[in-house]
Amino acid sequence: MDYQEPITPKTVHIRYSSDFRRKGGQTFLAANGIEPAKENPAEFPIAGGVALKQLPQGWRFSEPKFYHKGTAKQYNPPNDGSCAICMQYETMRDKFKPAIKRLMLAPAHALDEKELAELIGFIPNYKDKSEFALHSASTKDLAGKRVLIVEGKNIAINKKFYWLYVSDPDVGFGTYTKIWFVATAEAWERHKEEAIKSIHSIEFR
């Protein structure tokens, strides 16, 4: 037998396509014990094929602290943990698919009470007025796609939220990307304008 040099293991970095991400790539990786890649500061923030073309000046990737630790991406101002822009790619629960489909295919509008009731459990902490104060909920068009925007306050933790949800027929409404701004009352006033401008800079890939 011919002598062969031992094989030295190498780390291979794989760049998954946006199609792979939209069709549940994150779920596949998690189910197979594969840790998602760390954020590359040279790339736009991206989750499920939805990217932010810009972040507020000086904001940087950090370890998630505002919910969904482990799968969410979080960006904070320098040395400031009072607010964050977060991104997450999720599988859509079957019970919400019909409601989301109707919302995304209907003309842009403010949600009525019946539509909101169908989203209890989808909008975080939207259960009763003692826990969550809803300020607004509507659909609109951004970057050529319909999105759902919800703004409110979680009374229990005294933080304000601005959520943007994206899901479309390309994935059969089977997945969605959620991008949100969360902040204390003081940080909300200080950073809301630049944070929402960043969230609205979405680009589809």
CATH number (domain holding residue 37) = 3.40.1000.10
Q: Is residue 8 part of a domain?
A: no
Contact in structure between 48 and 22 (CB atoms under 8 Å): yes
Q: Is residue 12 part of a domain?
A: no
Nearest-CA neighbor of 88 among 52, 48, 61? Answer: 48
Q: In terms of DSSP bridges, do strands 83-91 and 175-183 run parallel, antiparallel, or are they unpaired?
A: antiparallel
Q: Is residue 26 part of a domain?
A: yes
For 88, the token pair is: 């997450």
Q: What is the C-alpha separation between 73 and 21, in angstroms, rounded? A: 15
Widest distance between CA atoms in the chain: 76
pLDDT of residue 196: 97
Distances in Å between the Cα of 139 and the Cα atoms of 164, 178, 192 are 9, 14, 19
Range of the domain at 141: 18-204
Q: What is the pLDDT of residues 67-87, one digit of tens each?
A: 555 567 899 998 888 999 999
Average pLDDT, stretch 48-53?
Answer: 88
Q: What is the C-alpha separation between 172 and 60, in angstroms, rounded? A: 33
Q: Is residue 41 part of a domain?
A: yes
Q: Is residue 162 part of a domain?
A: yes
HSE-CB for 117 with a 13 A CA cutoff: 3
**pLDDT at residue 105 above 60?**
yes
Task: Name the DSSP class of 65.
Answer: -
Q: How many domains in the chain?
A: 1
Q: Is residue 11 part of a domain?
A: no
pLDDT of residue 122: 93
For 195, the token pair is: 């944070």
Q: What is the pLDDT of residues 12-45, one digit of tens each?
A: 333 334 444 444 444 444 444 434 444 444 356 7
Q: Is residue 3 part of a domain?
A: no
Q: Is residue 4 part of a domain?
A: no
Q: What is the pLDDT of residues 164-181, one digit of tens each?
A: 999 988 778 999 999 999
